[in-house]
Chain A
């Protein structure tokens, strides 16, 4: 991709670490003692049924939600709500776009670029728009764009600042086949550029394609974890069905 992140060194030291993360909403436990460590260039796909706590997990990893117990560490340093600098190292794509409907695609990216203190926005913004195939929509207001187009723009926003850690919540939602393939290429480039990626998705095929590791989350807990090499698509589907049935 143009303007793609420069390759980060691949190391075994954890870039992103979840240490026994728990998040309760009143009596409901959304995330239940989730732990993992990911190094540079590692890609974790998390699958799970609706309400499994996947989005809460991503928000905890992004530092947008305070864990009830446990902690998130970025390069070994605990991520606290007050630690704003660490946010510059994280890019998050939520099921919400974080975009302003009455601003154009370009204005939205410029705004987010300025929030990240980026200097080269004149070249970076067109590059990111090109990466997601939205050059011709640069001056269109977001509230005039289709859902899939907004999702592509949200991807551009999440990756604008070349984050070391990329957190994706159902990134394929609303995308047509072309846009889905474009996103797959982008994610592949991120992975090979040494970025650490956590992706939450219902799409077993897409999730497995790029993953180095997979996890299935049910009722907040990781009930199944495996390395990509240990699994094929059929095996993942069987494991997923079994995990969901046992958790139901």
Chain B
């Protein structure tokens, strides 16, 4: 493993260890996810509305709002005792810090997706239909795009007094492509449509994720430099 990857792994390991100890972000994100499932369980008359038609939208609403709640605090832990200055004073390239934060956020949001899918199955007896691997692929690339954008903007919002209030205003317009293609692809998988109907959205989501990651890696230095 190269030094660069070991440095990235060190930050990921540290972030996940801190999250495991505090469960600050995971508790907020998981709480919201379960709350959404409970609310819709009572709000929807499952005799009138087919869960299949709602599930994709519900899942993406959970990912976006839950993700925002947790990822908005990505750099909070680095403000304690000036830890971010310690990171910046170390030899890890700045894009490595960004990449590490993307990976640790990705793990958290993926966990939330698992909790959401389990909650829908529990509360609605939801049958996920379709190809589970294709569903995992769509969720993975779409989540990567969401996380890449949100991580960059959480670094920006961490330096403002408005902080987390500012974050949704900044990123929701940028996430419109992910929402459109993510909901479309997920809905088609839930409806057990052929894989060919999902491929187009999947490629667009992958392109968005790659572009967002590249832009984030380049722009991150301008965000954290003084």
Chain A contacts to B: CB under 8 angstroms: 62-66, 81-82, 84-88, 90, 92, 94, 96-103, 107, 111-112, 114-117, 142, 150, 157
Contacts and interface: CB of A to CB of B under 8 A. Distances in A.
Nearest first, the 9 A-B pairs at minimum CB distance are A98-B86, A96-B82, A114-B10, A115-B90, A88-B91, A117-B3, A87-B91, A97-B81, A84-B91
Nearest to B20: A102
Contact of A87 (B17, B82, B90, B221): B90
A103 B221 contact: no
Contact of B85 (A96, A111, A115): A96
Contacts of B77: 100
Contacts of B17: 103, 107
B64 interface: no
Given A62-B89, A84-B91, A100 B82 contact: no
Contacts of A97: 81-82
B7 interface: yes
A43 B11 CA distance: 33
A221 B71 CA distance: 42
Secondary structure at chain B's binding surface: helix, strand, loop or mixed? helix
A65 B226 contact: yes
A117 B7 contact: yes
A115 B7 contact: yes
Nearest to B90: A115
B87 A102 contact: no
Most-contacted residue by chain B among A64, A98, A142 (CB, 10 A): A98
A27 B147 CA distance: 38
B225 interface: yes
Given A64-B226, A117-B3, A111 B10 contact: yes
Given A98-B86, A100-B18, A103-B14, A81 B221 contact: yes
B6 interface: yes
Contacts of B85: 64, 94, 96, 98
Interface residues of B, number: 29
B92 interface: yes
Given A64-B226, A84-B93, A103 B86 contact: no
A98 B91 contact: no
27 contacts: A64-B88, A64-B226, A81-B221, A84-B91, A85-B91, A86-B91, A87-B89, A88-B91, A92-B89, A94-B85, A97-B81, A99-B86, A100-B18, A100-B83, A102-B18, A103-B14, A107-B17, A111-B10, A111-B14, A114-B9, A115-B10, A115-B87, A115-B91, A116-B91, A117-B7, A117-B91, A157-B86
B83 A64 contact: no
A116 to B, nearest CB: 6
Interface string B162-177: 0000000000000000
A99 B91 contact: no
A96 B90 CA distance: 15
Contacts of B92: 84, 115
Nearest to B78: A100
Interface in B2-36: 3, 6-7, 9-11, 14, 17-18, 21-22
B22 A94 contact: no
Most buried by B among A99, A100, A116: A100
Contacts of A115: 7, 10-11, 87, 90-92
B45 interface: no
Given A65-B226, A100-B14, A117-B3, A112 B82 contact: no
B7 A114 contact: yes
Interface in B141-176: none
B91 A66 contact: no
Given A64-B85, A81-B225, A107-B14, 10 more contacts: A62-B89, A65-B226, A66-B225, A88-B90, A98-B86, A100-B80, A100-B81, A112-B90, A117-B6, A142-B81
A102 B221 contact: no
A65 B88 CA distance: 10
Contacts of A90: 89
Contacts of B10: 111, 114-115
Interface in B68-103: 77, 80-83, 85-94
